[in-house]
Amino acid sequence: MSDHSSLNRLSVSPYHKRKYVIIPDPENEEDAAITSNHSSLKEFSVKNKTIPVTVYDEDKATENWKRKSKRRTKSYLTTNLHLKYLDLTSKKCCRSLPVLKNGSRIENHKAIQLKGYGKIILTNTCAFDTAVFLIMVAICDSNKYLIEVNDELISSTFIGFVKKILSDSITVGTYRQRAQIIINLQNPVQTPIKHDQLLLKCVTTFTNILKCVIPDFPTITDHSECKNPKCHTTSHYQYGSITYIYDGHFKDLQNCINERMNEINYTCNLTKKKKKCKGIKTIKPQISENHIFVELIKDNKGKN
């Protein structure tokens, strides 16, 4: 058997990535016959018996034809129909709202003079001021809400206070009026301090604030009635807000509201003439058509 060392070199050399690869001539007829069947070697051979560098750049080749520009996909956001024809760049559509400062008037709690009480200092007015601002925004944002407020709460001191801020802005008299409303509606704890001053600590829970300032404008009203004809007791309970356990998202908020609106049946157990009523009592919730306040309770992995 003849030596095929030259053939081995032929079969290996084309796969070495070098700048120039030399293809040797066959040494005998047998090698020539074998190499004649390797079409790949013929394709790579050139006059100077070298393979150009561009052959090994084939895997980096690109095409220069132009692609058509991709069409913009529709936004996943749902269009707010109420804002469809609203031009927020127009000054007529925008309104600057004043903001009450916490405390009496300034950050260092300066005392204000109030008739019948002398010098007073208010603390923890954040919840009250938040309620003022929310109602203020709702009145400016919806004419329907403004009409409902005027019809149902025309005698409300709190709503009148909010509307006066919108019309006259905030003045020194505004803080005196706020102090008077808080004293009348919340009955805050009064603590005498130095210089004949009174420290008034306001209610800090937003739900309690709603019960004080808009008691006739609840979020939900529960109507209960006993089906027993001998008992037939009825009652009404008003709630300023709905409680929602917040665990980082609001995906279950609608379900929470729906569950709150379900009817509940239970045994009356009302005692009359030393006898307990065994009739079925039904609670039918009625939600407000004007506004819904939701109180969030943060839940961090099961820990409130």
**pLDDT at 292 > cutoff 80:** yes
Structure tokens at 117: 């009480």
Band of the pLDDT at 106, cuts 50, 70, 90?
very low
Q: What pLDDT is stored for residue 2 in this prediction?
A: 47
- Pairing state between β 242-246 and 294-298: parallel
Q: What pLDDT is stored for residue 160 in this prediction?
A: 87
Q: What pLDDT is stored for residue 155 in this prediction?
A: 59
**pLDDT at 296 > cutoff 70:** yes
**Please, are residues 276 and 233 in contact by the beta-carbon 8 Å criterion?**
no
**pLDDT at 76 > cutoff 80:** no
**pLDDT at 54 > cutoff 60:** no
Tell me the DSSP string of 58-101.
GGG----PPPPPPPPPPPSSPP-GGGTT--TTSGGG------PP
Band of the pLDDT at 75, cuts 50, 70, 90?
low
**Please, are residues 244 and 219 in contact by the beta-carbon 8 Å criterion?**
no
Q: What pLDDT is stored for residue 86 in this prediction?
A: 64
pLDDT digits (tens, 9 = 90+) for 222-272: 999 998 888 888 889 989 899 888 888 888 888 999 999 999 998 888 887
More confident residue, 91 or 154: 91
Q: What pLDDT is stored for residue 113 in this prediction?
A: 83
d(CA 251, CA 245): 11
**pLDDT at 11 > cutoff 50:** no
Q: What pLDDT is stored for residue 105 in this prediction?
A: 46
- Residue 18: name the closest of 60, 46, 51 by CA: 51
Alpha helices in the chain (DSSP H): 5-12, 29-36, 39-44, 126-141, 143-152, 157-168, 172-186, 206-213, 253-260
d(CA 90, CA 126): 32
Q: At what angle do helices 157-168 and 126-141 cross, to 10 degrees?
A: 70
- Residue 190: name the closest of 123, 100, 127 by CA: 123
72 contact partners, CB below 8 Å, separation of at least 6? none
Domain boundaries defined on the chain: 95-214, 220-298
d(CA 124, CA 122): 7
pLDDT digits (tens, 9 = 90+) for 119-161: 888 888 888 998 899 999 888 888 888 888 776 655 578 888 9
d(CA 20, CA 53): 7
